[in-house]
Amino acid sequence: MLPTFKEDLDNVQQKITDLGNGLVKANELILEALKDCDSKKFSKARENIKNVTSKTDEIDNKIIKILALYTPEARDLRRVVGYLKITNEIARACSNTRSFIRGFTDVCNDLDVETINEYALPMQTSTVNAIKTTIAMMAIQDPDELREMYDEVIIDENKADDLYEMIERKLVAEAESCKTSFEKYHRMLRALRKSEKIASRAFAVASLLLYISVGGSLHN
């Protein structure tokens, strides 16, 4: 690998890591905000994922220049292509995070404390763990360690899925048993669904990082 190529690619990796760390911080603040429906913390969380589109565009442009200048092959090419896809997944995760903040801020006080403690908090905890582990994978070179971390992401992503299904069943049952409009419950579920989707995006990034390291099929 040419020194300048490695330097340019390492720079891209750092920018992606910085973007991912902002996503982690935003979701950690959401977790804190959920405990007492703190609108200020929800707003602070949003600050950590500002200007994501311009940042991902900048990274993508750097990646395209790397492809044009160096025409990488084999593992180097996997890394470049993988990074291009990872920026898209992180951008989608940031979009889901903004939607979650916007949607849940409106309904947080309508959700009883027991439901938040039993389902919403553990679900967001699993989401945060999935993102943190995934971003930490960016700096790992050892394939065996990457596989172990990848398995951790799968576990947390599955937890988020399961918890969403449980809270969905609970809220649907509540909606059917009361006389009020289902709209309130629908808005709650739509907001909570975003948290689960963030975990799914983390899993997608983890899959791409494993692909960069060990190869195999690359799926969209």
Tens of pLDDT, residue by residue over 133-152, are 999 999 999 999 999 999 99
Res 30 pLDDT > 80: yes
Name the CATH topology of 3-214.
Methane Monooxygenase Hydroxylase; Chain G, domain 1 (1.20.58)
Q: Is 208 exposed, middle or buried (0-12, 13-18, 19+ CB in 10 A)?
A: buried
* pLDDT band (50, 70, 90) for residue 217: low
Here the contacts of 154-159 (C-beta below 8 Å, separation 24 or greater) are 154/203, 154/206, 156/126, 156/127, 156/129, 156/130, 156/199, 156/202, 157/126, 157/130, 157/199, 157/200, 157/202, 157/203, 159/122, 159/123, 159/126
CA 73 to chain centre: 29
Alpha carbon separation from 86 to 10, 94, 133, 154, 208 (Å, rounded): 15, 12, 15, 17, 7
Q: What is the pLDDT of residue 71?
A: 84
Phi, psi of 6 (to 5 degrees): -60, -40
Render pLDDT for 172-213 as a digit per residue (tens, 0 to 9): 887 777 655 567 777 778 888 888 899 999 999 999 999 999
Contact predicate 18/135, CB 8 Å: no
Backbone dihedral angles phi then psi of residue 199, each to the nearest 5 degrees: -60, -40
Give 97 or 35, the one with higher predicted confidence.
97
| pLDDT attached to residue 111 | 73
